[in-house]
Amino acid sequence: MTGTVLITGPTRGLGRAAVLAMAGRPSSVRPDLLLLGRGLSAVAAEARALGARVEEVTADLSRLADVRSAATTVREMLDAGAVRPLRALVANAGVMSADTRRASADGYELTFAVNYLAHSQLIGDLVGSLTAPARVVLLGSNTYHANVWRRLLHVPEARWRDPLELARPATGEAAPGQAASGVAYSNAKLAILYYAHELQRQAGPGIAVSVFEPGWMPGTDLGRDAPAALRSIMRGVARLPGVSTPGKSGPALASLALDDRWAAARDGAFILKDKIIDVQPVAHDRNRERRLWAATTELLEHASTHS
């Protein structure tokens, strides 16, 4: 599938690897690239050196006003024919705040704001600008539920609450700790699964919605706010055999956005690296999905009227 691919968080790790994988394709199947985020010049230059046509849209995803402005810029580019039709939107950017008291510019808990709300805003603003057949690819994580290995590694699973509560920063003089940070991250990833299912119902048949799980990639910039000692441990673990890396998972993310083999991946299909897997029963809940959709509308509208 050719046309234009928009990707958030393209400067490091998985996003950068996906961008370069798309840019390095033969010209006949190479998409135009819309890079959305901060500090884009280096990766844009790398992609152009590989032959890609690249446009940069600067935005801070912790500021919903920035996201809305970026979406307006993208629509103007599409309307003016500055890039080819938008055929895929890859919501890749992510963060795991080490302190759940930290708030975004709009007053929302930072992990939930960047991983979930910013992309909901962007997709909502651009879904009408996608040219069918088109794809929306969201970044998921298996951390939403616990298994034996995640329990051994003390990786917290999601603890779902009403979305308005999930969006509220923690309070108190002392930081809630690493466990709370992990729960916030897993909650945001469970929200993405719920959102993907409801988005597919809302978006119609011409847009295929899927969720990509790149596998465990310790040592990436996702945990850049973690304590130095923990980051050092994760960099060591990242060298173990079988652990995912951006170099391995980036091309798989590019494939999901572009290749015919994934044309039928829709309805929030959960792709672990290069295969569709079943999600846990907790990840399918129509009541939670409807409530999340309504609460998301409320949170985004509140941010818009108070910006």
pLDDT tens-place string over residues 266-299: 999 999 999 999 999 999 999 999 999 999 999 9
The pLDDT assigned to 237 comes to 47
Instruction: State the pLDDT at residue 172.
Output: 85
What pLDDT, on the 0 to 100 scale, is given for residue 41? 98
Q: 4-305: what CATH class?
A: alpha beta
What does the pLDDT read at residue 222?
54
Query: Are 83 and 55 contacting, i.e. CB atoms less than 8 angstroms apart?
Result: yes
Buried b or exposed e, range 42-78, using 16+ CB within 10 angstroms: ebbebbeeeebbbbebebbbbbbbbbbebbebbeebb
The values of phi and psi at residue 52, to 5°, are -80, 150
pLDDT, the chain, mean: 92
Question: What's the pLDDT score for residue 213?
Answer: 97
pLDDT of residue 292: 98
Q: What is the predicted pLDDT for the residue at 230?
A: 42
What does the pLDDT read at residue 178? 84
Cis amide linkage into residue 133, ω under 30° from 0: yes
Task: Write down the pTM of the prediction.
Answer: 0.92
Q: Which residue has the tokens 């234009």?
A: 4
Q: Could you tell me the two tokens for 70? A: 């970026």
Q: Has residue 226 got a pLDDT over 90? A: no
pLDDT at 131: 97
Alpha helices in 81-160 (DSSP H): 110-112, 118-126, 148-152
Which range has the worst mean pLDDT, 41-45, 183-187, 223-227, 247-251?
223-227
